[in-house]
Every structure is written in C-alpha cells, then in structure tokens.
Chains A and B, each alone.
Chain A
C-alpha cells in the first residue's frame, strides 16, 4: 500500500483555510468512516445495548420509587420502597433558586383598574362565621420590647398610612386574579413594633380558619422577613375599594404578591417574630416552604 492510500488526508493549504466561506463552516460534512473488526463491532453493540438496558432499568426504578404511593398503587408497583429523597432535594433546591431570584428592590407589575378580574373565595375549608370580626385583635409577639401587643383594626388603620396597589395574586394551582388592594405596609408595622434583633422570620396565624366540615383548623404560614419588608407586601384592609369581607379575610390579611396565594393568609390574628423558620401549613403537606414567585 502506498502511504497516500493509507495515511492522513492531504493537509489543506494555508490559502485554502483562509479562503473558507461560510458554506464551508456551516455546510454539512461527510461522516467520518472508521474500519472495525466485526468481532469488535459486535462486542461494542452488545456492550452499548446492555448499558442502555441497565440504565433504563435503573432510571425506571429511581423514577417509580419517587412516585406518590397512590400512583404506584395504580401501576401495581406498591412493593417498591417509598423514597421521596430526590424529590424533597429538588423542592429545597428550587426554593433556594427562588430565594436567590428575590430582590428587595424589584417591584411586581401593577395594573390599571380596567384590568381587574374576579377573585374567588378560596378558603381551603369552610368560610368562617363573621361573628369573630367585632372582637378581632391582632397580637404581636417576639418583639424587641419583650412585650406582647394587641391591636384592634381601628388603631392599625389610624396609626399607619394606607397604600393602594393593583397587583396579581397567583395561586399554586395555576389560576391568578388581578385585584385592587389597600392596606398598610408590613414594613411600617415592623418599624412601629420592631421584632427581636435575631428575628429572621414571621409566623402569621389565623385562629378562625375552619376545615371543610366547619371545625376549627387554624392556618399558619412562615414568612421570611426580607419579603415582609418588601415595599409591595401589605397588611391589607380593603379589597377593590371596600373593607375586606369575611370571604377575603376581614379585617386584616396578608397581601404579598411576590409569594404564591397560599402564603397570603386571611384574617390574621397573630404575628410572631422568630429566629428559626416557623411551621407552615402547606409546607407540612408537601408544598414548598418559600413559595417565592
């Protein structure tokens, strides 16, 4: 065999390399041809098919083990161990991403009055009896003063400036609604009643919430203080220009448009500032705990 037949293809000259057109750069190349002994080719094929098969079995086993138990039961695979490790890891990672995306200076979009849409009463259980409203008080705990403060709605509204905003409330389920809200900034309340210096969290609680059968089912959410300080995080007193009705959380609810709707707790009865992350109703039921959107 001559070296020409056996050796490398002729080297392109410098002039040819310089003169390359875009067609040469983007044009399709001939495939690279390789010569292999048939036995090697068979061995490679067998190896690659086995790797694919093993990968498919492993991938499906991991995938199925992460499925919720009712789904696995329906598939007839309930014998595999229940392990949500990977999914819980993904949920926490996604929360970290959400927290990294948050900026205290970034405002959410606001809308015109003409863009307002209906907002349904989305109480998870039964709507509370409005009987609680006249005696309602907001209790503040975990304050720097060491005191426990109770405020009625008149005091809150007289002492703080009321702000208006038309923003979108986004539900974890996927629907959303644009509404006009008025209320004091959570930030103003934090300045009026400063929390303990180590505080990183607020626990917001409503003792008047009911479950679907009408039995007491207190609702509680965790809220990181950076979100509480956000200029568009309100403690809302009015919805579409009127005082909050019982369906929308009279007399005071959270309106944090940078969070999913489930953080926007209605009929707040107590706010406690804490050093450690407090419990969260929906996080305990498998949802995210940060819920930043």
Chain B
C-alpha cells in the first residue's frame, strides 16, 4: 500500500505537465509576413532605384571641366576613395557609391526590370499588410494621438541621449507606456506605411507622366515627383537604421514577436524595462 502511493507520486511528478505560459498576441500572421517580405522588396527597390538614379541624377552640379562629372554621388565616391583607408586603389572612384549600394552603373535596363518586379510585389504586399492590420485589429494601436506630438519628441530625446548616458554611466529610466507602442513608435509605424503609399503614388507619377498626368501634377509635375520619390526612399533608410538599432537594444522578445507573433509582455506595452 505504502509503496504504491510512492510510485503514484513519482509518476505524477514526471508526467504532470508544467504550468501553461501566458503570452499576448502581438502581430497578425499577415503583418509578420508582409514585414519580412518588405525587407527583401525594399532592398531590391532601393538597389535598383539607385541604379536608375545614376542614369540621370536628380541632383546635379555644373559638369567638372576635366571629368565631365556632374553627380554628387560620384563626388562622394571620389572622396571615399581618396580618404578611406584601403580604398586608394579602387579602379573607378566615381562608381564607388553605385557599386556598393546599387546594381552598379550602366545597369539601367536590368535595374528597371528589377524595380518593376519588386514594386508590383510591394504593392501586393501593402494589401497583405493592410489585411493583417484589419484582421488582427492592430490598426487601432497605430492611430496617432494629439499627445504624440510632444510624446514622440520626448522619446526621440531619450534615445538621442541614451549613448551619452551609457558613456557617462548614468542610469536613466525608460519612459513607460500602457499602450502597445510608445508615441515615437506610433508616429513612425503610422508614417512609414504612408510613405510607402506615397512612394507608390510618386512612382506611378514618374512612370506614367502622360496617362496619369493628373497624378504627376499632384506632386508638382514630372520633375518634382522625381524629387519626392527620391526623398521618400531616403525616409525608408532614415527609418530602418534606428529601427534595427532599437529592436536590438529592446531585446529578443521584441524581435521574436515579429517572427512568432506573440510576446511575453502581457500588458501589451512596448518595453521590458521597469
């Protein structure tokens, strides 16, 4: 009798399932899918876009009397090859930028094919993202609030001061919010899809300036629509750099939630820190 009870206890100890873990649903499957597809598509769009830019730079200066060069990107390449160690023997300094961030110079035809291929997928991906936002109800967390004007500036100030605080070994408390995103995230995650939409619109304006001349006119005409398109691309780059730095700083839970969809932060807040 006694031995049976002991055996039962031992069996219960090894087979009893560990208590379930509570996790919060954070990102809908379609939101995650479109997020990672965008990494690939935006890389293709920017690399091919810079090759297209090469054919006729939006920003030009008077041609250099010796080389005939009129492109600031070529100037930057020449500067890099003259000043960056290890680059002194680079065979074609004016092409340095194009060889490193695009398909390269003299690639207009393949660049345009890649650009069209990526952009049709990018537009479809935008619809996938919107569907995910609607199905998961996440769109509500993205709507900016009036208080975000000050709130996002405060957060930007906090992040800009963070490197100095770390260097000075000063402890600062990360501002805490009871919303999914902090004000700066909300403004950024709302603005970037809008910028994506505007990139598509300006893209169509410069791709079909005759059949869609009303669209080109909306952006100030064909020439100005090209400038808009260029700077919208720059906003993606300006977004992606701190986005990647901050997700690494914020930790594994945040990065994992964009892969798996769930987070262990049950209150839905944006940060682990106290």
Partner of A27, one of B140, B206, B213: B140
Taking CB atoms, residues of chain B closer than 8 Å to A168 are 209, 222
A174 and B266 contact, CB distance less than 8 A = no
Given contacts A37-B18, A52-B36, contact A173 B108 (CB under 8 A): yes
Minimum CB distance partner of A66 in chain B: B114
- Residue A132 CB within 8 A of the other chain: no
A31 and B20 contact, CB distance less than 8 A = no
- The 8 A CB mask of A83-94 against B (1 = contact, 0 = none) is 010111111011
Given contacts A28-B140, A52-B259, contact A74 B104 (CB under 8 A): yes
Given contacts A28-B140, A59-B40, contact A34 B114 (CB under 8 A): no
Minimum CB distance partner of B18 in chain A: A38
- Residue B218 CB within 8 A of the other chain: no
Minimum CB distance partner of A283 in chain B: B109
**Docked complex: B129-188 residues within 8 A CB-CB of A:** 137, 140-141, 143, 179-180
User: Which listed segment binds B: A96-104, A133-141, A193-201?
Assistant: A96-104
**Docked complex: A130-180 residues within 8 A CB-CB of B:** 168, 170-176
- Residue B88 CB within 8 A of the other chain: no
Minimum CB distance partner of B186 in chain A: A28
**Docked complex: B206-222 residues within 8 A CB-CB of A:** 206-213, 217, 222
A90 and B259 contact, CB distance less than 8 A = no
Given contacts A71-B103, A90-B116, A176-B223, contact A101 B211 (CB under 8 A): yes
B20 and A67 contact, CB distance less than 8 A = no
A26 and B140 contact, CB distance less than 8 A = yes
- Residue A228 CB within 8 A of the other chain: no
Taking CB atoms, residues of chain A closer than 8 Å to B103 are 67-68, 71
Taking CB atoms, residues of chain A closer than 8 Å to B141 are 28
Inter-chain CA distance A150–B260, complex, in Å, is: 72
A258 and B210 contact, CB distance less than 8 A = yes
Taking CB atoms, residues of chain A closer than 8 Å to B261 are 48
CB of A159, distance to nearest CB on chain B (Å):
29
Interface residues of B toward A: which range?
35 or more
Minimum CB distance partner of A72 in chain B: B103
- Residue B2 CB within 8 A of the other chain: no
- Residue A183 CB within 8 A of the other chain: no
A34 and B140 contact, CB distance less than 8 A = no
- The 8 A CB mask of B86-128 against A (1 = contact, 0 = none) is 0000000000000100011001111011101100100000000
Partner of B256, one of A32, A45, A59, A94: A45
- Residue B4 CB within 8 A of the other chain: no
A31 and B268 contact, CB distance less than 8 A = yes
CB of B123, distance to nearest CB on chain A (Å):
11
- Residue B3 CB within 8 A of the other chain: no
B180 and A31 contact, CB distance less than 8 A = yes
Taking CB atoms, residues of chain B closer than 8 Å to A52 are 36, 259
User: Which listed segment binds B: A209-217, A273-281, A284-292?
Assistant: A284-292
Known: A71-B103, A91-B116, A93-B120. 11 other contacts (CB 8 A): A32-B24, A34-B23, A35-B20, A35-B22, A90-B113, A93-B116, A108-B210, A168-B209, A173-B55, A174-B206, A176-B222
Tell me the A residues contacting B by CB distance below 8 Å: 26-39, 41, 44-45, 48-49, 52, 55-56, 59-60, 63, 66-68, 70-71, 74, 84, 86-91, 93-94, 98, 101-103, 106, 108-109, 168, 170-176, 257-258, 282, 285-288, 292-293
21 A-B pairs within 8 Å (CB atoms) are namely A27-B140, A28-B140, A28-B179, A30-B268, A31-B25, A31-B180, A33-B24, A33-B25, A34-B24, A35-B22, A38-B20, A56-B40, A60-B40, A63-B44, A101-B208, A101-B212, A106-B210, A175-B56, A258-B211, A282-B109, A293-B210
